[in-house]
Amino acid sequence: MQTAIKVENLSKVFYNKKKETEKEREVWALNNASFEVKKGEIFGLLGPNGAGKTTAIRCIAGILKPYSGTIYINEENIQQDAHLFRKKMGFLTENHGHYEHLSVYDNLSFFGSFYDIEDLDQRIEAVLTRMGLYDRKNLRAGKLSKGQKQRLAIARAILHDPQILFFDEPTSGLDPIASVKVRELILGLKGKSRTLFINSHNLEEVQKTCDRVAILDLGKIKRIGSPTELRKDLFKTQEMICTLKNPVTPQMNAMLAGIDLIKQYRVEDKKIFVYSDDIDETTPIIVKKLVSLDAKILQVSRTVHSLEDIYIKLMEDEELPK
């Protein structure tokens, strides 16, 4: 798969003049961050507020000058003529940034006029229809609801049909229904040649939308991978719970103790809790042996660690790589 975005050892330092010492003045928003985003994937940059997510997008867009590092878009270095690369990108910024005194249509018309769009009027109408805002096109942007403003911001971002779309906290401040709608719209934008880059601190959002995730904290990338990869990487021992109709017998206990794949287990009346490094292989063996011991199995379930568990574990347990 081709690379849409490649970030190599990206660092960005801000200076806080109010601090006394030179060291205190330096704020490393990004510290040697490296990652790649493949063409056509939805990539999530996950991290707490102040982790450096927005700075990363701004550097990729070329509106912030990196302290060091290189950024490639479609394998081309963006250092020269970053503004030309922005033609291929669409942005949904954290502040929607509409001209509130201008109409919905005028807002799109202004932003669309900088791109080579063949029939801008037709394109605006198509995008507004897609975003469910066509009947609001003559309304001042300031009169829209928060969810509608966010949809207008998405309309603006996709107006020129960009190859790469950046979403900075796309559901921030929205009510649950509006959030779901925005998330659906984002997912609907995924295409073979379109890459989506989502900045978020909302774990549920990232889990539901992203193919791969990079976890960023204090400007450093802590982990990159798909949620499944991260889960496997961080939670080596997994849990399986087996619920029986009848109480666990001493024979069953002995059987469990004899399985090498089981790292640890415990029994609570009719429930067996098994911990193993390879729960996929262990589960059928246990089930088979329990059946052979006349156990009536009501339910077999596995604890799947959410992205939230992964995130919390990373933030709490792991030391930053030196």
Partner 1 sequence: MNFDNCVNIMKKDWKGTIRTKELLLTIILFPILFTVVMPIIMMVGILFAPSEFAQALGDINVLKAMLNIPIHYNEYLVGAVLMTKMMVLPMFLFVPGMMSSIISSDSFAGEKERKTMENVALLPITKTELIVGKVLTSFIPSVVITITCFFGTGLIINLMFLQYLEGNILIFTDVADLLVGFLLGPVLAFLNIQISVIISSRSKDLKSAQGISGSLITPVIAVFFVQMFNPAFLSPIMVLIISGIMGLLCVIFVRIANKLLDIEKLILTL
106 counts as binding partner 1 under rule CB under 8 A = yes
Contacts with partner 1 by CB under 8 A: the residue count is 27
What are the Cα distances from residue 23, in Å, to 49, 218, 265? 22, 16, 50
14 counts as binding partner 1 under rule CB under 8 A = yes
Select from 31-39, 63-71, 130-138, 286-294 the region that touches partner 1 (CB under 8 A): 63-71
Query: Do the Cβ atoms of 174 and 146 come closer than 8 Å?
Result: yes
Compute the distance between CA of residue 105 and CA of residue 134 in angstroms, rounded to an integer: 9
x/- string (CB under 8 A) for partner 1, residues 148-177? Answer: --------x---------------------
Compute the distance between CA of residue 88 and CA of residue 84 in angstroms, rounded to an integer: 8
95 counts as binding partner 1 under rule CB under 8 A = yes
Element (H, E) at 8: strand 3-15
- Closer to partner 1 by CB, 98 or 220: give it: 98
Compute the distance between CA of residue 223 and CA of residue 320 in angstroms, rounded to an integer: 10
143 counts as binding partner 1 under rule CB under 8 A = no
Residue 2 token pair:
């081709």
83 counts as binding partner 1 under rule CB under 8 A = yes
274 counts as binding partner 1 under rule CB under 8 A = no
Q: How far is the CB of 213 from partner 1 (least distance, A)?
A: 24
SS percent in the chain: helix, strand, coil, step 5: 35, 30, 35
99 counts as binding partner 1 under rule CB under 8 A = yes
Select from 55-63, 120-128, 194-202, 222-230 the region that touches partner 1 (CB under 8 A): 55-63
61 counts as binding partner 1 under rule CB under 8 A = yes
Question: Side by side, which strands form the sheet with 195-200?
Answer: 89-92, 164-168, 195-200, 42-46, 212-217, 220-225
List residues binding partner 1 (CB under 8 A): 14, 58, 61, 63-65, 83-84, 86-87, 89, 91, 93, 95, 97-102, 106, 110-111, 113-115, 156
